[in-house]
Amino acid sequence: MRLTDRTLAILKNFANINPSILVHPGKVLKTISPSKTILAVASIDNEFENKFAIYSLSKFLGAVSMLESPELQFHDSYVVIGGSGSGVTKSVKYVYADETVIMTPPSKDIKLPSIDASFVMTEASLKDVIKATGVLGLSDVAVVGDSDRVTLQALDSKNPTGDVYSVDVGETDKVFKAIFKAENLVRLLPTAYDVSLCSKGISQFIAQGSHETLSYFVAVESNSVFN
């Protein structure tokens, strides 16, 4: 099997959410952050036949990247990554981890209890507000609805008199302020998302523009407000 560019991109992104992963047979990958504040689900174009655990996903991806046009052969307890480099045939035997040491997401599909607000977040808006958190040293991102406009804000939610950077992202007839840790949104792949917000403390970011699905469930902070 050769991993496609999309599969590799998803795995690299998932390594930023959880350093480990348990892969199940099929074409769906799931992961959850150690803090349980982000759960990610992606459909990929590779299909895995084995169930296997990778303890260090970044090390595994590094092994794959060492070889030109790598081919993966999966076995019960290890995978052989074969390819070439400098005109010489090479291979890596990468041993699976014990799956009991991997933090894994729930087996059941997650659904939002309710959708109390929604908006579209462009790739440019996401990059813009994340950049602002770094430049201004801010810890949070808020989605704010004032019954007219929706704005994406970089701010420190515990400091009401501090700096705020705002980007207008759409219209709403609702009043709300959904707060996220910036460190969580940094882990999303940069693209456009349909975002649904739930007052029960969870949100869903669904990537636009692809028949393959990519979805993140991200925790909404307890000091958020929905009217």
pLDDT tens digits, one per residue of 92-115: 999 999 999 999 999 888 899 999
pLDDT of residue 221: 96
Residue 50 has pLDDT above 80, yes or no: yes
Could you tell me which CATH number the domain at 117-226 has? Answer: 3.70.10.10
Residue 55 pLDDT > 80: yes
Percent of the chain's residues with pLDDT above 90 = 89
Q: CA–CA separation, 1 vs 124, rounded Å?
A: 35
Which residue has 């892969």 as its token pair?
23
**Torsion, CA 172, CA 174, CA 177, CA 182, rounded to 10:** -30
Question: What's residue 68's pLDDT?
Answer: 85
- pLDDT score of 133: 97
Residue 211 has pLDDT above 80, yes or no: no
5-101 and 117-226 have identical folds: yes
Domain ranges of the chain: 5-101, 117-226
State the fold for domain 5-101: Proliferating Cell Nuclear Antigen (3.70.10)
- Residue the block writes with tokens 């636009």: 208
Quote the pTM value.
0.92
Supply φ then ψ for residue 184, to 5 degrees: -80, -45
Banded model confidence at residue 23, pLDDT cuts 50, 70, 90: very high
